Structure 1
Amino acid sequence: MSSSIPRSAAVAAVVSAALAAGLLGGASASADDVTTGAAPVRIHDIQGTTRVSPLAGKPVTGVTGIVTGVRTYGSRGFWMQDPQADENPATSEGIFVFTSSVPTVAVGDSVSVNGSVTEYVPGGLNSGNQSLTQISKPVVTVLSQGNPVPAPVTIWAGSVPRAYAPEGDPAAGGSINGLTLDPEAYALDYYESLEGTNVRVGTSRVVGATDPYSELWVSVKPFENPNLRGGTVYGSYDSQNTGRLQIQQLAPIAQQPFPKANVGDWLVGRTEGPLDFNQFGGYTLVANTLGKHVDLGLEREVTDKQHKNELAVATYNVENLDPTDPQEKFDALAKAVVENLASPDVVALEEIQDDNGAKNDGTVTAGATLKKFTEAIVAAGGPAYEWRSIDPQNGKDGGEPGGNIRQVFLFNPARVSFVDRPGGDATTATAVTGTKGDAHLTLSPGRIDPANTAWENSRKPLAGEFLFRGRTVIVVANHFGSKGGDESIVSHHQPPARSSEVKRLLQGQAVNAFVKDVLALDKQADVLVLGDINDFEFSGTTKALTDGGALYPAVKSLPRSERYSYVYQGNSQVLDQILTSPGVHHFEYDSVHINAEFADQNSDHDPQVLRFRP
């Protein structure tokens, strides 16, 4: 979704209620506050030395400044800045004036504003987001025109502190809202001290590709956790990559098309404009002037072809694939399987939708989706894959309403056999059977523990038994619960609340228990657990999966700079994984970067491939 959204009346009401309750600081204020009778104040008096204005909820009059930016779409309004700064680095000299309708001022106007100071929380109070200090319901007087805009503050590697954020105040529920800003110590404090201010970045590397909403991410710290392809790797909860900054553009796209940039490209020269705060990226430079895009020609990776005695197993989230998608998407995904993934022997697919996609009419079968996809693979020169899956119960597995996403095994019957053991359905659990040293599945394909509440409204793991050169290989395809509901890393709670981890932790424990059942019969069994785990290699979820040494996250076999499958807000990070049991020796692992770093994506995930000799 776009970062520039209208401030709805509903959100305004929530924030007003919060002000009345003292949750955001300041005095109680009604919608009918008058804007007369208050002493004139300066912008830095409104911004104050914490994240919440000391004047929140109060009327102000005669607030003067020079207009530095005008936004005529989305959240309409303008930024203004006091050219006479105080000597306190914690107080911003700029502020956003929310006009609701298209502003009538222009950059360079000297204005005087009466209005009410409010704290707008993008996403609402329950999002945990920081608030944006603004003047609402303004009465604007233009004093003069054509004034020079205050010189921008340059944001560069040396100005942004290495530490990300202070620890939240335990007495305030872990919030940093009431803490005095220390812009020389913490990156979030530094950016907050510039909220609404005219800022500039120089030549900067792109670390998050242009999205459909004409936004991209740069880093002013080119040597902060870099990878060879130009990204910035997110390697731990304590490594927040402080140099990242989102870039938007104020000028209408028709006048200056927004650059279509990939990770590793550069914005050369100056990018300049007010520093905003929004729901979908936090601190954002809304550019009046945009640097020149330099395309460095990032190429999509191609993995090695497996040897004849190697089994190649891949996982690929194909992003809500269904027959209503254009043939071009099927063709592009198929080409990636054949050319970039070198036609793996087994491919675990996530987000295969039912035969009519998001239409919510009770359809749960996905044969039409898979037929169209496998035919596209053949047309691209790939093998005639067969598939195995289990249809979910309607509306029980989460994802896009009506889509009934599920995991699916594709396999090349010329290279590997699927061991069919009937009886598996949406609600029946597969189990482990066999004798010492010879473990098998009771149902293949079968679901793991589908009645477990850990899988409520979430995809249930799909287990399958394969034979390769006479050796049994058990593969478990997963799509764990999403991160929806988590607070962002720019939350006013530090550390932010990650509520979605609770479900994934339980899911990881359930899969780990199943793998331990296999290993109890055969400690050298070849087991691969793979899919969209929706969590990092250092997360509690991964620790639950690996408990007791049952599994190893194969992505950790890569150098730290190469561990990523997804790019979010300029952070290259791990979401997709393949984990191996102790019996899987001497494997090769590849995170094949073909999507996440590119403005043109066939999926937002990069596929993963593992090759080994069972």
Structure 2
Amino acid sequence: MRIKPLVSLLAAAFAAPAVLASTSGVVISQVYGGGGNSGAVYKQDFIELFNAGAAPVAIGGWSVQYASATGTSWQATAIPAGVTLQPGQYYLVREAAGTGGTTDVVGDLTGTLALSGTTGKVALVKSTAALSGAAPAGAEDLISWGPTGTGAEGAAPAPVLTNTTANLRAASGCTDSNNNAADFATGAPTPRNTSSPVNLCGGGNVNQPIIPSCPDQAVVSGTASSFVVSATDSDSRVNAASVVGALPAGVTLGSFVGASADGVAATQQINVDNTLAAGNYNLGLKWDNDEAQTASCTFKLSVSGVVTIPAIQGSGAKSGMDGTTVTTGGVVTKLINNGFYLQDPDGDGDATTSDGIFVFTSTAPTVAVGDKVNVSAKVQEYSVSSSAASLANPLTELSSVTNVTVVSTGNPLPLPVEVSLASLASQSDMERYEGMLVHITDPLTVNQTNFVGSWGQLTVSAGGRTLNPTNVLRPGPAALAMQAANLARSVVLDDSSATKFPNPTPYLWQDGTVRAGDTVEGVTGVVDFGPSTDSATGPLAYKIHPTAAPVFARPIARPLAPPAVGGNVRVASSNVLNFFTTFTNGSAVPGGGACPSAGCRGADNQAEFDRQRTKILAALSGLNADVVGLMEIQNSGNFAVQNLVDGLNAMMGVNTYAAVPLPPSTGTDAIRVAMIYKPAKLGLMGASMSDDNAINNRPTYAQGFVAPNGEKFAVVVNHLKSKGSCGTGLNGDTGDLQGCWNLQRKQQAQRLLDWLPTVTATAGTDRVIMLGDFNSYAKEDPIDLLTSNGIVDLVSMFDPADYSYVFDASAGRLDHGLGTAAIAAKVTGATSWHINADEPEWIDYNTEDKAAGNDWYQPNQFRASDHDPMLIGLDLTKGFTGTDGRDNIVGTAGDDIIEGGPGADTLTGNGGRNQFVYRSMGDAGDVITDFKPGVDTLVLTKLLTANGIASADPLASGHVTCTANATGAIIGIDADGAAGPIKSKPLLQLKGIACAAVTATSFKF
């Protein structure tokens, strides 16, 4: 025997003496029941055994058993035959798993017992027969823990546990006084198995044993293969391995590599010939070391026939082999962090069966793309949730993997199958490609970007963007059919990380975004199935795990400015995404007050608030509207509103905006609707109004306005009940695509109709715009009720397919601009400014979950909210028309349209932005006394047409001329332009104006 180093002798001399109450010396050394629970590190519960004696103990045929703290019914995990525990050796039984935790327990044996994370009892029994009773007799060892535990050894049970603590026997398992309270103490879970360092009890210089590692093996019949088993000895070298008994024909020992030093593993290769018949074979090996010690191990060799992947998949949504353990083979096509995709390179020629399958390994796979492998595992139909759609369309996969054998490496991948999404009849047609490599032949358009930051997912579709069905169709069979068609032509591009908040965020352009409407072609990858949102209960979709990085294009540029809507008055609505001056962390902008009773919903802190405010101000200043209705702003009087007004005035000039006065009631919700306006453009007409009828979640808010020219209109701001958190009955989700609370929204729409006369009476006008977040798409019941009763959908007048929101990968309009017939006649344009709904949520103001270098926030208007703002143009000019004689026409202080007509007229705009209209040369001879270049406009459209002038730039071509005289500038018309012989004829005199000031901006041609 080799002489032991001094340090080993000293350690042995001071080792804890064994106090043995177990007759065999084998004890329960550790129990843990918090596996997979909230806050747990380990995913599974476990029971640890330990040989505290001086001799090996055969524990095969024994069991570990569990009962609740006061329970009388016991459940057992049997220890298989052939297991021998050497002195100082641990044996770990991994039990049931929870849904949490980050680390798998590496056990010697796996059971299914679900231990309590707080109180319970575990027994070690020399048989597999279940115990009975709260304090049973006949256990080799027993631990009861927690204050209510019964049957404890000694006077009291061991301490109560938590999800982060285990009960550990003292002296690393060496103490056994038959007193649970004294023998055990809580500590961090520290699972130890047969490969852990030996811990000899009792002092003295005890030689360490040989520890074999001979796991069961599985191979495929008809395929030659080999595998390696090993053994170690911490204080000696393992130098030989030999067969115990006889090997079956076709199995031979291959090369042996002895240990190069103490504690280094010796390995024995075992070869299996391709002639070995299918079946189960028990093999045994004896190991020797250079100290004349021996150890033996037995293990099972399973030889099974190959079941092809197409045979496993079958032609339906579910495999006919669910729950069956099989061996199959193929080429690895894609790796993800908890498994890999495997495809039969030959297939079965049946287009209805998939040639690919996912192999779930739970941890990072050890194979490589291009490896040809054989896998032995259980066929499982995995449903991501308990929803009906998930249960009806589970993912067929291989789990509980017992063996993966690499047959060869560097193999070419199977050719991708070409798939046209546009040609699929239904979403379920993708089932036949589950797990396979495919090439999507269609150009694809991005529909949804909300989850690119949280899960690395983009929803794309063939045939252009998908629109929300009830935005273009009334709820009913046609809308449901459209939804089914949308799903059939859509897939999710998944970054394959299966990681929340992947870093770096995939698919973003250099400008820090990817937008709905961007396009991609030539997508190739593996087909998967699962949630298309960040919720396991959300919509399900087929996914593509790309095998090459997709390259995106942007046919529709980011809109830096809102679309032109014309008119001389602009009205807008803007959802400001829970703009609160009081933060969720309890602090606030100075004077911001406390959170309302309904709670704070916006920025978490000052840093987030500053980021949010910057984006909102960029959006509002970009809109540059004369009236803006605001939704989702803190219900704190006008404090939060004034905060935005102050910011806008700092950017755009003092007193550019003002807050509309508070109405009589703003309700009790945490958020309210509000209004701001430009006092230099509009005056208030009557008092502000609110409707706090109980049917309204947030009181509707109205205000009348008057332009300097006397033109009046009113604005009503709305925020109807949301579609989330269903009610009962008709306020539940009835399946017609209108979502939850449709009945209440319809009642709120009816209340708006009933309240409208109050608005018109107070504002003194029947020109009323109703705008805001109606939480209803354009063809749903609430909007239909309004439009069926004389209210006009102003946006649909210009673009029925306009949208303001993206949900479940479909675009639709929740934010509306509606109006009475009187105001509809004055509308020059209405549309949404697409700065929010198409942008990823990941680039908004929030800072949580964004790692350093992966924060794509920019101080601009993009993703200031989740809703797009809406803009409406109104022509509220005052009209003046002269007679055929000499007229003296003076306009208002506002915006006017002045048409002198025939005769030499004297025209005075008198303030505002005025248009002077000329239809023919018969209108010549006028003098305009106060024309303002760059503000006022000469409208010559019909005059030029009447004279046959079709120049793209009449001023540059000389068809419209300017000649100076003693009192100003003469504007003339030259029928053949500067190049022709006809001379220009005077049309009108601009008094006090130099020709240098008269540019193209002074005209409308």
Structure-2-length-normalised TM-score? 0.44
1:155 is matched with 419
CA 1:531–1:235: 2 relative to 1, 3 Å: same
1:267 is matched with 520
What does the per-residue CA deviation read over 1:117-170, in whole Å, with 9 as the maximum and x for residues that have no partner? 433333442786843333333224123232222221223356x33xxxxxxxxx
- 1:254 deviation in Å? 6.5
2:640 is matched with 369
2:632 is matched with 351
1:330 is matched with 613
Corresponding residue to 1:518 among 738, 756, 769: 756
1:252-401 paired onto structure 2 within 5 Å? 258-260=507-509, 261-280=514-533, 282-296=541-555, 298-300=557-559, 301-304=561-564, 307-308=567-568, 310=569, 312-323=570-581, 324=606, 325-339=608-622, 341=623, 343-352=624-633, 354=634, 365=636, 367-381=638-652, 383-388=656-661, 397=669
1:559 is matched with 799
One-letter amino acid matched to 2:496: L
One-letter amino acid matched to 2:767: D
CA 1:351–1:485: 2 relative to 1, 3 Å: same
Are the aligned partners of 1:465 and 1:472 in contact in 2 as well (CA < 8 Å)?
Answer: no
- Please state if 1:44 is matched with 2:317: no
CA 1:48–1:344: 2 relative to 1, 3 Å: same
1:463-482 paired onto structure 2 within 5 Å? 463-469=701-707, 473-482=713-722
2:493 is matched with 247
Are the aligned partners of 2:326 and 2:377 in contact in 1 as well (CA < 8 Å)?
Answer: yes
Q: Measure, in 1, the Cα distance between the counterparts of 2:646 and 2:741.
A: 36
- Please state if 1:125 is matched with 2:387: yes
Q: Measure, in 2, the Cα distance between the counterparts of 1:127 and 1:483.
A: 21
1:199 is matched with 438
Q: Measure, in 2, the Cα distance between the counterparts of 1:198 and 1:233.
A: 35
Q: Measure, in 2, the Cα distance between the counterparts of 1:317 and 1:203.
A: 36
Q: Measure, in 2, the Cα distance between the counterparts of 1:528 and 1:337.
A: 19
What's the secondary structure of 1:556's corresponding residue?
A: coil
1:81-96 paired onto structure 2 within 5 Å? 81-96=343-358
What does the per-residue CA deviation read over 1:203-244, in whole Å, with 9 as the maximum and x for residues that have no partner? 73442364323332333335x779xxxx99974423343433
CA 1:148–1:413: 2 relative to 1, 3 Å: same
Are the aligned partners of 2:571 and 2:626 in contact in 1 as well (CA < 8 Å)?
Answer: yes
Q: Measure, in 2, the Cα distance between the counterparts of 1:376 and 1:256.
A: 32
- Please state if 1:65 is matched with 2:323: no
1:54 is matched with 320
What's the secondary structure of 2:482's corresponding residue?
A: coil
What does the per-residue CA deviation read over 1:511-544, in whole Å, with 9 as the maximum and x for residues that have no partner? 2233145359979833332212223212233223
2:780 is matched with 539
Are the aligned partners of 2:420 and 2:442 in contact in 1 as well (CA < 8 Å)?
Answer: no
Q: Measure, in 2, the Cα distance between the counterparts of 1:518 and 1:234.
A: 25
Q: Measure, in 2, the Cα distance between the counterparts of 1:106 and 1:90.
A: 28
2:457 is matched with 215
As a proportion of its length, which structure holds more strand?
A: 2
Are the aligned partners of 2:470 and 2:780 in contact in 1 as well (CA < 8 Å)?
Answer: no
Are the aligned partners of 2:660 and 2:676 in contact in 1 as well (CA < 8 Å)?
Answer: yes
Q: Measure, in 2, the Cα distance between the counterparts of 1:84 and 1:408.
A: 65
- 1:503 deviation in Å? 0.9
Q: Measure, in 1, the Cα distance between the counterparts of 2:523 and 2:739.
A: 40
CA 1:377–1:305: 2 relative to 1, 3 Å: farther
Are the aligned partners of 1:207 and 1:232 in contact in 2 as well (CA < 8 Å)?
Answer: no
Q: Measure, in 1, the Cα distance between the counterparts of 2:758 and 2:503.
A: 64
Are the aligned partners of 1:566 and 1:573 in contact in 2 as well (CA < 8 Å)?
Answer: yes
CA 1:232–1:94: 2 relative to 1, 3 Å: farther
One-letter amino acid matched to 2:872: L
What's the secondary structure of 1:501's corresponding residue?
A: coil
Are the aligned partners of 2:720 and 2:748 in contact in 1 as well (CA < 8 Å)?
Answer: no
One-letter amino acid matched to 1:350: M
What's the secondary structure of 1:245's corresponding residue?
A: strand
- 1:564 deviation in Å? 1.2
| Greater RCO, 1 or 2 (C-alpha within 8 Å, sep 6+) | 1
One-letter amino acid matched to 2:520: L
Are the aligned partners of 2:446 and 2:460 in contact in 1 as well (CA < 8 Å)?
Answer: yes
CA 1:338–1:218: 2 relative to 1, 3 Å: same
What does the per-residue CA deviation read over 1:277-308, in whole Å, with 9 as the maximum and x for residues that have no partner? 32426112111212323455713142337644
What's the secondary structure of 1:246's corresponding residue?
A: strand
Are the aligned partners of 1:64 and 1:113 in contact in 2 as well (CA < 8 Å)?
Answer: yes
- Please state if 1:405 is matched with 2:663: no
Q: Measure, in 2, the Cα distance between the counterparts of 1:78 and 1:482.
A: 41
Compare CA radii of gyration and give the structure with the larger one: 2
2:242 is matched with none
Greater CA deviation, 145-154 or 565-574?
A: 565-574
One-letter amino acid matched to 1:602: A
Are the aligned partners of 1:59 and 1:114 in contact in 2 as well (CA < 8 Å)?
Answer: no
What's the secondary structure of 2:328's corresponding residue?
A: strand
Q: Measure, in 2, the Cα distance between the counterparts of 1:68 and 1:496.
A: 42
- Please state if 1:577 is matched with 2:816: yes
CA 1:481–1:330: 2 relative to 1, 3 Å: same
Are the aligned partners of 1:233 and 1:571 in contact in 2 as well (CA < 8 Å)?
Answer: no
Q: Measure, in 2, the Cα distance between the counterparts of 1:119 and 1:406.
A: 47
What does the per-residue CA deviation read over 1:66-85, in whole Å, with 9 as the maximum and x for residues that have no partner? 2222211xxx2222222232
RMSD: 4.0
1:79 is matched with 341
Q: Measure, in 2, the Cα distance between the counterparts of 1:135 and 1:81.
A: 12
What does the per-residue CA deviation read over 1:148-205, in whole Å, with 9 as the maximum and x for residues that have no partner? 22221223356x33xxxxxxxxxxxxxxxxxxxxxxxx23022222222212235734
1:171 is matched with none
One-letter amino acid matched to 1:283: Y
Structure-1-length-normalised TM-score? 0.69
User: When the two structures are aligned, how many residues end up with a matched partner?
Assistant: 495
What does the per-residue CA deviation read over 1:98-120, in whole Å, with 9 as the maximum and x for residues that have no partner? 32222222222333334444333
CA 1:232–1:264: 2 relative to 1, 3 Å: farther
Are the aligned partners of 2:657 and 2:676 in contact in 1 as well (CA < 8 Å)?
Answer: no
What does the per-residue CA deviation read over 1:11-46, in whole Å, with 9 as the maximum and x for residues that have no partner? x999xxxxxxxxxxxxxxx979xx999986433344
List alignment gaps of at least 5 residues for structure 1: 1-7, 15-29, 162-185, 355-363, 398-403, 422-443, 487-494
Q: Measure, in 2, the Cα distance between the counterparts of 1:392 and 1:131.
A: 48
CA 1:464–1:65: 2 relative to 1, 3 Å: same
- 1:246 deviation in Å? 2.0
